[in-house]
């Protein structure tokens, strides 16, 4: 299976910005979509952003829309999440994920097939 390695996490001040990267450790699979998800303490896993590889179409959760931007470098097989105007509610473990199937890409969370190990993001007030 293809796996990913997230990087760029850490601690930032409220109002600041961060950029997360997700590097594929294998190129053996083709993905229909890639996504960023997060899980904060005591919270459900939340799918933040999705990008479809065929056309670059993106979708965002309301909680991050207008602040976060998902992008992908197809040549580098790297997924990015630019996070701006961050607030303490953004504190969470952030994961990248991918799938080659339509249904999990359209509706899935934990059902997504391929995952990174996660990177912690902490936003100080």
What are the tens digits of pLDDT across the range 55-80? 999 999 999 999 999 999 988 889 99
Decide: 79 and 53 in contact? Cβ < 8 Å: no
Query: What is the Cα–Cα distance from 17 to 12, expressed in whole angstroms?
Result: 7
pLDDT class for 108, splitting at 50, 70, 90? Answer: confident
- Give the chain's count of helices (H) and strands (E): 1, 11
Decide: 47 and 34 in contact? Cβ < 8 Å: no
What average pLDDT score do residues 94-116 get?
91
pLDDT of residue 2: 56
Decide: 66 and 83 in contact? Cβ < 8 Å: no
Q: Return the higher-pLDDT residue of 37 and 108.
A: 37
Query: What is the Cα–Cα distance from 85 to 69, expressed in whole angstroms?
Result: 12
pLDDT of residue 26: 72
pLDDT digits (tens, 9 = 90+) for 10-38: 999 999 999 999 998 876 567 899 999 99
- Determine which of 33-42, 94-103, 106-115 has the lowest per-residue pLDDT on average: 106-115
């Amino acid at each position: 299976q293809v796996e990913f390695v997230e990087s760029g996490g850490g601690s930032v001040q409220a109002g600041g910005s961060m950029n997360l990267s997700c590097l594929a450790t294998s190129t053996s699979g083709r993905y229909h979509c890639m996504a960023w998800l997060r899980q904060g303490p005591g919270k459900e896993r939340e799918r933040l952003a999705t990008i479809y590889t065929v056309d670059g179409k993106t979708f965002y959760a309301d909680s991050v829309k207008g602040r976060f931007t998902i992008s992908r470098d197809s040549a580098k097989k790297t997924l990015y999440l630019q996070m701006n105007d961050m607030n303490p509610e953004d504190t969470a473990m952030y994961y990248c994920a991918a799938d080659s199937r339509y249904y999990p890409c359209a509706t899935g969370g934990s059902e997504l097939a391929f995952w990174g190990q996660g990177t912690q993001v902490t936003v100080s007030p």
